[in-house]
Amino acid sequence: MPEARGGSNPDVSLLYDINGIAKDAPNWLDRTMEFIGEFGIVLGLGVLMLFAWWSVRKSEDAPAGVAALVWAPLAAGIALLVNIPIRGFVKRPRPFVDHGGLDVLVKGKTDFSFVSDHATLTMALGVGLFVAHRKYGLVGIGLALLEGFCRVYMGVHYPTDVVGGLALGTAVALLLAPLAMMLLTPLARTVAGSRAGWLVRSAKAPRPVMARAGSGAEADAGFPEHPRHRDNDLAA
């Protein structure tokens, strides 16, 4: 028989405190939170990524910004894959299985609880957005935190499920970002020079300062001119 309360367990106590808001809330608010927690925030992050894409296309180093945006959903996908063995190893039941008296807003959740897929997904997207564009990234991270609150409010996750998901999404998005950028940025630069270049760089975007012609391999690679070259020119 499910336990009614968690006693001295702060994880369970916080679960009841947050989910208790749903019990006292009007039905329309519960339905709104259900939609936001299941679909709304993920959709909102998708729209946010479109705004960020439109913005980074106008920057000087647009290919790097677009590459970071491409990394955001890839990081989310990788984080969700990493979560599969974690869930299978921990095998933590959903909170309503072991604890009675919860107001469960979404029925039919039969998989394991730790860690939260929604928290993992949204935080990976938010941190990936932050790598590409600080302002939009901060909004995305804020939405991910709201997602975590919604999952507990809905009675389908413990607070520690959410914390674990937020940590997993952050770790994957940040730790693998250098490798991802090393692979994706050259690809974005190639697309920028093709007929599909508008996907990467706006026609109004400022062009990066390139090395002067004849400066050797740096000019061929498109790197900025080395300060030593400028010193030699002044000495001459």
Summarize pLDDT for 125-134 with one digit per residue, the tens: 999 999 999 9
> How would residue 208 be classed by pLDDT, with cut points 50, 70 and 90?
low
Residue 177 and residue 28: Cα distance in Å, rounded? 40
Is the dihedral angle over the CA atoms 189, 191, 192, 194 positive or is it negative? positive
Q: What is the pLDDT of residue 87?
A: 92
Please give the distance of CA 3 from its chain centroid, rounded to a whole number.
Answer: 35
Whether the predicted pLDDT of 218 surpasses 80: no
pTM over 0.95: no
Residue 119 and residue 189: Cα distance in Å, rounded? 32
Whether the predicted pLDDT of 217 surpasses 80: no
Q: What is the CATH number of domain 10-185?
A: 1.20.144
Can you list the alpha helix ranges (DSSP code H) found in the chain? Answer: 10-24, 27-35, 41-56, 62-90, 95-98, 117-132, 134-153, 159-175, 177-192, 217-221, 227-235
Give domain limits for the chain.
10-185, 206-235
Q: What is the pLDDT of residue 183?
A: 94
Specify the residue for token string 């990936």: 128
Q: What is the pLDDT of residue 14?
A: 93
